[in-house]
Structure formats: structure tokens, C-alpha cells
Structure 1
Amino acid sequence: MAIMHEQKDEDQFYYSLSELEALVKTAEGEVVETIVQKRPSPHRKYYVGEGKLEEVKQIAEENEIEIVITNEELTGGQSRNLREQLDVRIIDRSQLILDIFAARARTKEGKLQVELAQYTYMLPRLHGQGIELSRLAGGIGARGPGETKLETDRRHIRNRMDDIKRRLKQVVNQREQYRNNRRKHQLFQIAVVGYTNAGKSTLFNSLTKSDSLYEDKLFATLDPLSRRMKLPSNLEVLLTDTVGFIQDLPTALIAAFRSTLEEVREADLILHVIDVAAPNRDDHEKTVDQSLSELEADNIPILTIYNKKDLIEADEFIPSAHPYLMISALEGEDIFTVKHAVEKMIKEQWTYFSGVVPEEKASKLAKIRQYTILEKQTYEEDKSGYQVEGFVDPNHAIMKEIKEFHHE
């Protein structure tokens, strides 16, 4: 059920509606009927006008509908009034997204963040929540003298939120220690970002040959997942898959998942995956760019990867970002192309080196191969050593060894 505001772009509205249907599918639901009403603004009491409400009521009864979902956030009053009128469960887009996140979070941190987001969303809408609240806050203790159930519920939720925040702080500290450890080992870090369902996890799996969750559903990946990836030069880098971005993500959820998304800020390079066949491709791109800007990650080098090239005609496509690649994340040849492009971008950030490693120090070659992009290694008899050339991170500890033999 959705309101089309008269001042809004019609294509964008219908895409948002198709996205809502995809969210319902992801939540294992089935869309029976889609009801749209054109109004300057939502009805204050019922979200839709009273005439349209009667139509919804009739459809719900005829089709034995169990749940009605709105494409915009409802106020507590609108939700309560709709439930009284329709006698079915009412949820809005934000609650649906929260529900999917709750079902898909795997790690301790992910689960805590979703629970915090649910409580943050619920607190201002407590009045008249009835059945849903009693299900969620089943552990409410004895009420204080003269305290109403609503006040007890609020107190219980605030206490639980404080407890979650404390526990999240501990998890965030652990994550920070893990990040520091990674920095110490100084692996080059790459974050894979993109609008939800753009093919991030498919690309991640293909690049790392791992089997992280891959599904044609929204928000298939919620918790950041890191794996090592070997580049053509044999350099190992760290690749991190991240949660998908989406338009109109609930504010509570953005705040709760901020520390998960902060993985992106640690990256040395970002791979921005875009579904090239999505009808709202440009909007998806803008949503992700805006989110990266909010995370203060917009100054990190980005390689834009237009995925699912097999679903469009190549001559119809004009890229809006550079540098870019057009690929299918399921094609082995394209994955090789991505690895080469990543290596090229790393070389642009790093420093060129060249020199001779003396024969008696040949044991250092393995370390140089491991931490640099080594492009040449030949034994030079007249120099009694190995001629090496390549690229190195000027801030890496390996620079100490390289300076010993590097010549300008």
C-alpha cells in the first residue's frame, strides 16, 4: 500500500514500490495486491484516505490477507488506526527492513545492532502497540507503585537499550583491536560496496573463491566478511564484503550499523559494484556515493564495477564513473580482469623500486615477493645478485629492506 505524492517523480515512485515487493519476497512473503493512491500528503489518521481504506478493507477480507505493508514510515497513531479498521497486522517499510535484518544478522554484533535499531524505532511509537509489544518485551518485571504498563514498557526498553549499547561498545573495542592487528600486518585492504543485490557477494566469492552467502535477495550479506585474495603478481590483499545500501533505510538502522560500515573507512581501495541492468542504476549509484560521503570514505580511491553486463546491450551503456570495468561476476575471464585492474590501481598508489639483492641476502626475496608487487626478478651474474623491480607501499615495514639495495 503506497501513497504517490503529487510532487514526486513517478518512475522513482514505481521503482521504490518494486523494491518494496522485493523486500517482501526476501522476507519470505507473497505480494497479493498492490494499492496506490495519489494524494498531496498521507492522511493524518489512516495514511490513505477513508474511501481508499474501505477498498483496502474489502480486498483484505476477500483475499484473507494477513499483513498490510506501507511504503512509508507510519506514525504510532496511523499504525494503530489502520490495525483497528482492517483487523490485520500493519507494518511499514522500515519495520520490514528491520525484520529482514533481524532474520539475517549472523554475528553477535549484527544481532545486537538490529535489536538496538528495533527498540530505537519502537520507542516513540509505543502507544497502542499492544500484541507486538507484549511479544517483544515478554520479560517485563514487576511494576512499581502507580506505574502504568506503558511507562514500565518504556523503562524496560530504555534499560535494554543501555545494556545493548554497553555490550556493543565492548564488541566495537574488540573490532578496533582486530583492525590494529591488521594494520600491523599491513595487508592492503579492499572494501566491496554497492546497492543491495548488485552482486557484491557473487564478486567477493569469485575473487576469493569462498562460499559466503550468495542469494538473489536483498541484504544477503549483513555482517562484514573478510578474506584474503591473491593478485596476479602473487601479492595477497584483504577483501571485505559489506552490507548493501538501500534508499530510505530506516534512520535507526543507519545509526546502529555505523560501526559495521566503518570497515569501509579502513580500506585502501573501494570496489563499488553496480547492477548495470537495474532500472534505477543512477539512483543506486548516488545512494552509495552519498553513504560513502557520510562515512567520510569518499576520499578513498574507487574502482567502479558495472556488473551483470550479460543483461544489457553494451552499446546502450554510458558509464558515469571512472575508472570503471564492465563485467559479469560469474565469468572467470572478467574476474581476472578485475584483479589486474586492482593491481594497476595499487601500483598508482605505491612507489616504484629497483635494485640488486646480493646473493648472500637472497633469503629476503621471499619477503619482498610477499609484501610488494614484484614485476622483475632475474639473477645477474656480473652483479652477484638478483635484479628486482616492482612497487611497494612506502609506509610498509618492508621498506627498510628495500632501502638497503634500492637505487634511484
Structure 2
Amino acid sequence: MKFDIIVLGAGMVGVSIAVHLQKRGYAVALVDRKQPGNETSFGNAGLIQREGVYPYAFPREVGKLLGYARNRALDVRFHSAAMPKLAPFLFRYWRNSHPARHATIARSYASLIMQCVTEHQTLAEAAGATGLMRPTGWIKVFRTAAKRDQEFKAAELGHKEFGVNYEALDAARLHELEPNLADTLAGGVWYTQTQSVADPNALVTAYACYFKDLGGRFLLGDASTLQGQWRVDTEEGMAEGRSAVVALGPWSEPIALRLGYRLSLGIKRGYHMHYRQPADSPLFHPVLDVESGYLIAPMNRGIRLTTGAELALLDQPKTPNQLAAVEPIARELYPLGERVDVEPWMGQRPCTGDMLPIIGPAPRHRDLWFAFGHGHHGFTLGPVTGRLISEMLTGSTRLVVDPTPFRVDRF
């Protein structure tokens, strides 16, 4: 089986890359061990985050760091055994979270984020999937006036620098938008440009079906068998391509390391659970409880409760302690029904120490490309990454964004 390009990884990023390359007339094979959208892209908050121009920074205040060291925080947990291996990544992450460095990183990151809604809408229209996208925005809610006012200032900075639209909500206005939340909240910030998705897996699946309608081929296979120039084992036999794109999210690093690239990815895991939505108490927007570190979102399957971050090594066993800790708090905020899922879902986010994704050609291998490390925003940035990779790979002179900040050799 011979193709022009093999794309490894069928999450939102890989599927989007495959679509864009197939649209440009290339014969593309999309390879994954599971059906499209059934790993990290399956279990996110379902947000296409136009407001997310500032990547999540590492805390630098001594008090916060000491608090996290107890490993009982609601928003961040860690596996103690993983810390020695994660230490180099965490040091880079901490160093790059200095306010001056973080501001510089945000300007590069924003170049991708500012395209995210438009690029998703273009793919969704072509795939007949616009019904899965909802222009509701999302809301951060606050329990204290101090935190609310601090976030108001951050939202205004995002508006001035990057055109992020928002509405500052006092308690009364928040109650108008979400009357079924607890009435003890101090207010919120409503980010109005963000799109919410009723079923993230269904959106990835729709894009994958569009890829196949364009003539692309999806193959179940083992990406770890990748050999140069460029071959990979699949259930239907060996697939060969003139070029290959590694878009395997957290599973990209082992392949990159085998090829001689030390990129030092860190893994931030997250969990979710669905709950029945009470018929008489609807939730209209995704809602982030900032001070408690969890998000609830209305989905086709029910109300999805998602946790913060858990630092661990790739494929370590599940430890859904955060979910157990925040569920009773979420029930106080909103009347969640009974659990719908048999067990919590877990996903693994691939994060870089400078908070920027890795997008571009592998410098020591001809016709090999990398597209991973999107952290919390792989679902958001899939389509614009797909467009950028396709433009670079095909030698386009006009690129959707400047790829320089995302180059592989910055490491």
C-alpha cells in the first residue's frame, strides 16, 4: 500500500492534517491503533477556545508551590514516582512561566489561537458537522470578589492585546445566564467568542468521515513500527509513504526519541465523568469553577465534569482522585444527576516546557514532520495546525501563521 503521505495519529490534530493534505490532492493514509477521536480528543471540555491566548502557566508563588507540594490540591495532582523523570520538563515550564517570558510566548501562541474558530467552522461546514458546534461561549465563575476582580483585569488585557471579547458578570447577570447555579457566586467572566461542542468525539469522527469522502484511507495500525522512508505496519499490511507526519499527541515523544530527538514532553492527565442533567435545571454554558479547579459542560451524553491536571508518566494507571474530590463540590454548585458512565475516562495531554506546540519538519530526517505538544488546546488547534502543516509540506509561499516559534529545532 503506497501513499504520498502517512499521518500517524487520528486525534483532532492528526485528522485535521490528513484532511488538509487530502484536499490538496495527496494520497494520504491516516494510521492509529484506535478509531479516530478515541484517545485524548475524546474526553476534553469540548471548547474551541478563542480566548485561550495565554497558555496555562506554571505557578511561581512560593505559597502556591508549597500548597501543591502536599498533593491534595483540587486543580493539580501528581504521581510522586514520576517527579524525577518530569523534573527537567517542570523546570523549563517554571522558567518559561516568568511573566516576561510568558507574555512573549503568548504573542506567538495567539497567532494560532486567533485562527481556531474560523478554521474549525470551515472544516465543520465541509464535513456537515456544524450542528455539533454551539456559539454559546463559556463562563468562568468565581466564589470571591477578589478573584473575580483579578480575572476581570486579565480578561480586559486579553481584549486589548488580542481582541478577546468578553462580558464581565456581576452576581445578578450571572444568575440571568445560568439560573440553576448556586446563588453564592460573586460573578463571572463570559468569553463569548469560544465555541462549545456537544460531542467532541463526534466532531473528530465527522472530520475523519470527510477525509474518507475525499478519498483518504484510514488504517488501524501500530505507529511505533514506523521505519524510514516511511513505512508502518497496519492490520491491512505495510503502508508506505514518501512523507510521514507524527501527530500522536503524548505518544509522539517515544517515536521522536527513537529517531534521535530529545523534546522533553510532559504529560498532564485529565479525567471526566458524565451525569444526568435534571430536566427542570438545564445548564446553558460550559462553566469553570476557577477556585475549585473543575469544569462542567452540557453534552449530548449529559453534564460532563472534567478535572484539572494530573502530572504523571505516559500510560501510568488511572488515579481519579481529583474527580472524587471535586464531584461533591460540583454538586453544590449545580444539581448534577446520577453518574452515567461506568467508570471515569482518562486522557493524556502532551505539553512542552515552553507551552508552544511542535509544528514543522524534523531537521535530521527528510520528509518527516512533527505536529504535537499542544497541551490543553489540541482540540482547539487541530484545524489550524492541519492547515499550517499542509501549507509547509506543500511549499506554499503564504502560510496561515509564521511557523518559526513552533519549529522542532528550538529544543
Shared fold (TM-score greater than 0.5)? no
Larger Rg, first or second structure (1 or 2): 1
More relative contact order, 1 or 2 (CA 8 Å, 6+ apart):
2
Greater strand content: 2
Greater helix content: 1
- Tell me the TM-score normalised to structure 1 length: 0.26
- Tell me the TM-score normalised to structure 2 length: 0.26
